[in-house]
Structure 1
Amino acid sequence: MANYLNELGIAGADQAEVIQLFLAYYSTGKFTNDRDATFGRVQDETALVVKCNAAGAITSVAPGPHFQNGDVSALRTKIEQDLLTPGPVQITRQILFSQAKTEGFYKSEGQFQIMAVPADSPQPKYSCSDYPSVLEVAFTSSADFGQNVTRGARALSRIELTLIPLLPALVRMQATHGGRVWTQGPSETAFWRQEYDQVGYIVPGGPQEAFSDIAGLSPMAVVPYQEFYKDHQHRYNTFKVPDSLETSLGKIARLSPENHEKYLRAAYWLRQAGLAGPFGNSPSFVALVSAVEALMGAPVRTGTCESCSQPISIGNTALFRNFIDAHTSADTVPTKLKNEFYNMRSNVAHGGSVFRADLEGRGMTLRGSYEQHRFMTLHDLVRIVVYNWLQNVGSREIW
């Protein structure tokens, strides 16, 4: 069977974008598993058969029964024009929420900028709320509208995850589809207002060719990183940045693809820990341990059993404890507590336990108080571990 992989010029293109292009060109697609897909012009028609390897790279593009003679030429042209030919740099934007009010701006040249919303925009009335700011991110555009939208969304998501471990005050980026929830509050026409309304925050503006003008804004306050990552006041009072932020961003850029993937996975779990917090400590606790596991790697083989010849590896609890020790000061957390972290995570993740506060709500118990102590200790510890891992690994790698 013919393989048009080289003829289509797929090797130099983003593989996910190629799959999106196939789907847009043929209109329908059927994904049998994570490695095989077929595409056709109508449902249940097969014009193209695509195979990928475990890493997601396309290994075969073969014609199906309904393949047409002009498809190769048309697909090659679209891949060249829409995926391989760089378009002009565009700026996409989204609302970023944090636990500290944004005043001024921070700009990482050529990558992104965070700036305060306009002065007349609404702000929360209470501290530690979702304070809005505007995140603008640069990306290389595509001539195809659908690919362009996807590139912008991916660029925003990548920067959000990149910043989560570095700026603890960040909560999340506004979701594209916020849905509806019940809202309530004072009313001028009734005793109390209750509405089922759309979630979201809007600042006028959309995709543009350059970053927004920041001439009228002052730079965000910069704090020595030793103070920033130690003192909660520097994180949550007003939006500030550590003086090591650009250095950290440079280290992220130098990570190998494997370690960059690890960093983004750890950042994802840190974000999920924050989002899950209002609904319970149990899922948040599991997410915090998962953030460390994302960086740990596979268990280390230490030898072979003389009796059964099976490989001997360091257990997950010891691996977790050793990883924390390698990226924190020796006396940061007692060994007993580090073991309890992983054991508690396993019990919760496999359904064997739930934090008492999540089951019983209000009230004070010895077990509940100690669980809360473990949760808060782990919460602060994990951010230190992820940050120190980046500083250690990022200093060694030049990719």
Structure 2
Amino acid sequence: MPKATLILVGFLQPSAAEDNRLNGMLRAFSRAFQESRSGTVSPLVVLAALVAVGLVATLAWRVFDRWQSARADVEALAQLARDRGLDEGDLALLHTIAARGDTTALAAARHLDVFERAVAAELDGRARITSADEGDVFAATHRLRLRLGFATLRPHDAIISTRELEPGMPVELAGARTVVEEVSEASFSLSLPQLPAVAPGARLALSIVHLDEAKYFVTCELLSVVPTAEGCRVAFGHDEHPARTQRRRHARVRPGGAATVQCGGDLGALGRPGITVEGTLLDAGVGGAAVETLSWVEARTHAWATFSVGGVAFHDVEARVLGCEGSPEGPYRLRLEFVRLSADNLHRLGGVISVASGR
């Protein structure tokens, strides 16, 4: 029987609890009919029969709903595979990784954090190698990461695992500063001016900077040390839980609350802008903010935003509209980039973001 058919049949099967309830209701239904044949039908018998029919219909609807949901997930995964160019091997690996992470293939393919947890569960305990063969699970997982679009972090994305490091990221180890040179699902490597004082197998603390987002401390196992003319090239195993210690300018919080954006024209001597947009503050950082609104605003419009974060009010913060996305009827997500943020606003906003984010 094809695998897809087995999956659908599994969803059509009621759970053990549902099966017990269904059998009990059918027995009660049978007794009710036997009583109706032996004498006058009482109102209680009729009521019991109606309740039994209703419960059977409810269970049938739940089974159908599960089947329909499973079918929708299968179709969504098939569409994602076509969009991302996933082949049968990629899909098989995705299902394997998802099963180890106790999630679904669709969730792992759509959400980076789910994908990272599933990958960590799948690769944990495997013999780590520093130069992956193209045919092994590490290389196959890295190809899957690339095809799912999980290989490149945006400037404001937090690092969930050191598997998300990118070549060129600054690293500090025992006072020596260097950069990440190569990253695979098995390890990451960098060059040092001198040999480390410990042998492979030791666990070392490193600090890594994700520019414009945060600084991280990680503890990784030293896998190998290869001497070079300039010093040595070292490889480390991955840390699945980097400690985020310092938020940088792209850090954002989601405070909610009202926001007012004055759009178009000039503020000050030439008068107030003519368009006023009211909305809800979705998130804010010292680099900009996002506001949900029912009004559409053209990109590149000059604007001034008034909002509050953590009880601290900010008035007429000069900004530029980066974009306004949403369905034609709204609501819209208005993305703002702050320009010429004053030193006072920078200090106050950075402070409340640190408090609001718990860092």
TM-score using structure 2 length: 0.26
Q: Which of these two proteins has the greater Rg computed from alpha carbons?
A: 2
Of Structure 1 and Structure 2, which has the larger fraction of its residues in strand?
Answer: 2
